Amino acid sequence: MEKTFAGGRLRHLREGRSMSQAELARLLEISPSYVNQIEHNTRPLTPAVLVRLTETFGVDAEFFAAKDTARLLADVREVLTDDTIGERLSPGELDELATNLPSVARTLVRLHRRYRDATESLATLLEGHGAETARQPHEEVRDYFYQRQNHVAELDEHAEGLAVELGLRPGEVRTALAARLADRHGIKVTSDGLAPSAQHRFDPAEKVLRLAPGLRPGQAAFRMASELALLEARDTIDELATAATFANETSRRLARIGLANYFAGALVLPYRTFLGVAERYRYDITRLCDHFGMGFETVCHRLSTLQRRGTRGVPFSFVRSDRAGNLSKRQSATGFHFSRVGGTCPLWIIYEAFGAPGRVLTQIAELPDGKKYFWIARTVTRPAAHGEPGKTFAIGLGCELRHARRLVYSDGLALGAGAAVTPIGMGCKVCERPACPQRAFPAIGKDLLVDEHSSTFVPYPAT
């Protein structure tokens, strides 16, 4: 049984109630020195002490469970790679900060982001290009979902209840949603009168929802569900968007769209039904697409949101990239961290997918901190009319390696000591792998090793 060390959380609870260690010791019927040892993580919590703690403070036992700090550790590590800070913490110090003082670590990350935004805004002003910040509205919205681990419980539960009420069944979703829009809201759904470049448009005055005629049934159902979200979950969506600290109204409007799309995904792929089928199929995405009549990207994105307390699916990270390496979508329910400095890693399987269109590729990737992830990647193509450019993206879905056996894609692969592991980084500018021959930029904060009389296969050797 794994030992539970929860010194920081216990100290936080005790100090929040202005209680001394001696007073807590009396309540727990243990010695003050024992309390002191627990708070300094030199002794673990025993089951008996844990029970008394939950009764004393009125919290669940889960409060004291070991937290996965990988995401927070990665965020703090990136802050400390900023060469303007000039400070380095050892891995042990970083771990202690994230584990015992998570609020301080998160505050440090938030302060650094504000500092970075202010610095880049000033640089923009000095260049005479206006006053907009470097962090654009779409980035703010991505951060919003990232901080929630890509799960919005309020909308997920509402959408699932509505799916039950409507009796949604695979293959009949579009018909049921059209009936709901017509019967409850007096809205007609049509495929006429829409501009060629538009997917959908709702006219509230005419009460007409126009869908592009080229949409597949699953795409059409999703568009209808997103408009239904703005009708039947507007109060919740507005409350969530208003409570967030967005820089401007543009970001807030984008957040409302993102929340409506989240509701739509949760409506057409309701939580318990979808999770049950996903577990039965061992997360075989092709079978899930066929079962629910939805596209590869939609199913992958929904898989990355299944983090309801008590009934969690595999915690996935989800990305969408174009051929140039731009990540237009990135969400994570894991500790996997997406760099904000420079590009991503060229050794990542996401980019190899473009060389094998339509095939699902797999990779075991190891980050510099030693954490391993199992990734799958596949391209998706959106065809266009003759003479117009189409769209091709690579979709990636990754989880910690310990979850890989739950996925059908791991069958036949060595996952233990004999596994074929690819070392990757978060991006060349922050990557801690000095000997990587694929490096595109020198690492921030590292002095270059320049010798006129020698050369190496490493593009930017550092001291």
**Mean pLDDT for each consecutive 10-residue tract of the chain (463 residues)?**
68 81 88 87 83 77 62 71 61 70 79 71 51 66 84 95 94 94 96 84 94 90 96 95 89 94 96 96 96 95 92 92 87 69 78 93 90 94 76 94 94 91 82 80 75 80 75
What's the 3-state SS for 279-305? Answer: HHCCCCHHHHHHHHCCCHHHHHHHHCC
- pLDDT of res. 132: 45
Domain edges within the chain = 7-64, 70-134, 153-300, 317-423
Instruction: Give kind and range of the element (H or E) at residue 394.
Output: strand 391-400
Q: Cα–Cα distances in Å, from 164 out to 169, 218, 263, 266, 273?
A: 9, 18, 14, 12, 10
For 311-329, write each residue's pLDDT tens digit.
889 999 999 999 988 888 8
Give the residues across from 45 on adjacent strands.
4
Contacts of 315 (CB under 8 A, 6+ apart): 149, 307, 333, 334, 399, 400, 403
Q: Cα–Cα distances in Å, from 167 out to 246, 273, 291, 447?
A: 37, 12, 16, 63
- pLDDT of res. 86: 57
Residue whose pair of structure tokens reads 């409507």 in the numeric block: 166
- pLDDT of res. 38: 85
Torsions phi, psi for 133 (to 5 deg): -75, 160
| CATH no., domain 7-64 | 1.10.260.40
For 399-428, write each residue's pLDDT tens digit.
999 999 999 999 999 998 889 999 988 777
- Count of C-beta atoms within a 10 Å radius of residue 202: 19
Q: Cα–Cα distances in Å, from 136 out to 118, 254, 325, 358?
A: 13, 11, 18, 32
- pLDDT of res. 413: 94
Torsions phi, psi for 110 (to 5 deg): -65, -45
Question: What single-letter amino acid sits at 248?
Answer: N
| CATH no., domain 317-423 | 3.30.450
